[in-house]
Amino acid sequence: MPRVTAAHETEVRERILLAAAQVFADSGYRGATMQDVVRESGLSVGAIYSYFPSKSDLYLAMCDFTSGRAMGELAVRLTAGRTIAERLAIAVAFYIDSIDTHGATPGLAALVPAWSEVDTSPAVRDMLRRRRDQLVTAGRLLVEEGIARGDLPAWVDAEVLGGAYSALLDGILLQRVEAGSSWRRADAERRARLVLELALAAAGAERPDVPEVAARPWDVAGT
Amino acid sequence: MPRVTAAHETEVRERILLAAAQVFADSGYRGATMQDVVRESGLSVGAIYSYFPSKSDLYLAMCDFTSGRAMGELAVRLTAGRTIAERLAIAVAFYIDSIDTHGATPGLAALVPAWSEVDTSPAVRDMLRRRRDQLVTAGRLLVEEGIARGDLPAWVDAEVLGGAYSALLDGILLQRVEAGSSWRRADAERRARLVLELALAAAGAERPDVPEVAARPWDVAGT
DNA sequence: AAACTGTGAGCGAATGTTCGTTTTGAGCGC
DNA sequence: GCGCTCAAAACGAACATTCGCTCACAGTTT
């Protein structure tokens, strides 16, 4: 059944990508089978292989699609923020929203298997690095603005804080995955917002002295 | 060869667990084969199956072993800290150390595959939850002490900050995995310590006002 | 009829696990 | 000391199953 329109092609592509996001989030990369994707998408094996050359290509495309969508939507939502505190709060709330699948929007949970496949293919690592760059850059820009306006301490390195925040949010993604059905969105938001509050509260203060601790390769105690 | 000694049994068990940690960290849970564990441990298939009834049991035992060891060693190291800032810095530095494998000590990177297997078996979820409880509790106790001594703001909820910190550290674990050989330990430590500095700097300040942002299930903008 | 998308049975490779066989060394009689 | 014995421990070829992927064909539109 040839649907010659280009619109149809992207429609089917997305249908496959959405099914893949669901399935990979549920069972991991290796755990998910192409049959699962077939079942979830309602298409056939052959159809899927005519859109994506291999399972790993499908997975990578799904990851780019999923995180790309989220970054785009984040940019849109940030325009609604007036103060810097508001913008930061929007970014946090949005990231937490985007962890789960909502209707036609695949959730970031589908990215989790990527971290265990990093040593398997360089393409996976590249994909994660691209994503990290985007997150850190977005964070850095917000922080720089906060510093310029005096809402954040002048002694923080914007790049470092951006990196820390992207780690915090990814950690919350892991907590969401491990919590399963007992997940409470409000708890996660409280955790992420608390760090925001600490940063804003520290605006007027001096940089405190945190002792250096030498890296020490573990002289195991006990068995 | 009947090695009646119980010592020999735990010795072989650990040998298998260490090999498993290496292999699972490299290839993920499904990606790693029992043959890989056989090769890495220098034992045989049958030997391994006489110590662990199945691949998933081996994986779970390895996770408990790995994170249990780390928690034990953390408790030991914390006793060296005098001030609260020093103890917090020790905890952070130690977690970052324990991400990588050092000699006989398996690195936490072997835990990463667990998050993609959470929906596969309840035992994996339980294991991760146990670990999270320990981390959050350890963090909460440190924070409570910090508040009591006036080093941390009185308005922070210790449980929430503990949860946030465990998320931050797990996020750094992910960053380490995705960075691969371009990983710089110092960068990670800077990120984790910056959040510590913010918390300590906020000690004297009022709780700032961070606007509420309503959860909003994504009205997708553009394809 | 021509063109092209979608189908799904089946192939070959690889994996987790079993189980019959081989090797080891502690205990024991001397 | 010494060698014999035998259960325990280690081994690894073989099995059933599963998965990613191909390809010959059917169905639909223009």
From the C1' of D22, which residue's alpha carbon is nearest?
Answer: A46
pLDDT in tens, A38-76: 999 999 999 999 999 999 999 999 999 999 999 999 999
pLDDT in tens, A167-216: 999 999 999 999 999 999 999 999 999 999 999 999 999 999 999 887 66
What is the pLDDT of chain A when averaged over all its residues? 92
- pLDDT at res. B1: 45
Least confident among A145-154, B2-11, B192-201? B2-11
The answer to whether the Cβ–Cβ distance between B160 and A191 falls below 8 Å is: yes
What angle do helix axes A84-97 and A185-201 make, rounded to 10 degrees?
150
The answer to whether the Cβ–Cβ distance between A194 and B170 falls below 8 Å is: no
Q: Identify which of A31, A163, A216 has the shortest CB distance to residue B30.
A: A31
Residues lining strand D at under 7 Å (Cβ) are A 1-4, 30, 32-35, 45-46, 49, 53-56; B 1-4, 8-9, 12, 42-47, 49-51
The predicted model gives B138-167 an average pLDDT of: 97
- At A83, the pLDDT band (50, 70, 90 cuts) reads very high
What is the b/e burial string over A180-204, where b = at least 16 CB atoms within 10 angstroms of the residue's CB? Answer: eeeeeeebbbbbbbbbbbbbbbbbe
The answer to whether the Cβ–Cβ distance between A116 and B191 falls below 8 Å is: no
Q: How many CB atoms lie within 10 A of CB B66?
A: 25
pLDDT at B175 over 50: yes
The answer to whether the Cβ–Cβ distance between A191 and B167 falls below 8 Å is: yes
pLDDT at B216 over 70: no
Instruction: For chain A, say whether B28 makes contact (Cβ under 8 Å).
Output: yes
CB < 8 Å from A in window 101-130 of B:
102-105, 112-113, 115-120, 125, 128-129
pLDDT at B221 over 80: no
- pLDDT at res. A222: 43
- pLDDT at res. B223: 42
- pLDDT at res. A4: 61
- At B101, the pLDDT band (50, 70, 90 cuts) reads confident
The predicted model gives A108-127 an average pLDDT of: 94
3 state SS of A102: strand
SS (H, E, C) A60-90: HHHHHHHHHHHHHHHHHHHCCCCCHHHHHHH
| Nearest C-alpha in B relative to A73 | B221
Q: Please tell me the distance from the alpha carbon of residue B80 to that of residue B96, in angstroms, as a whole number.
A: 17
> Sign (positive/negative) of CA torsion B33, B37, B39, B43?
negative
- At A115, the pLDDT band (50, 70, 90 cuts) reads very high
- pLDDT at res. B53: 92
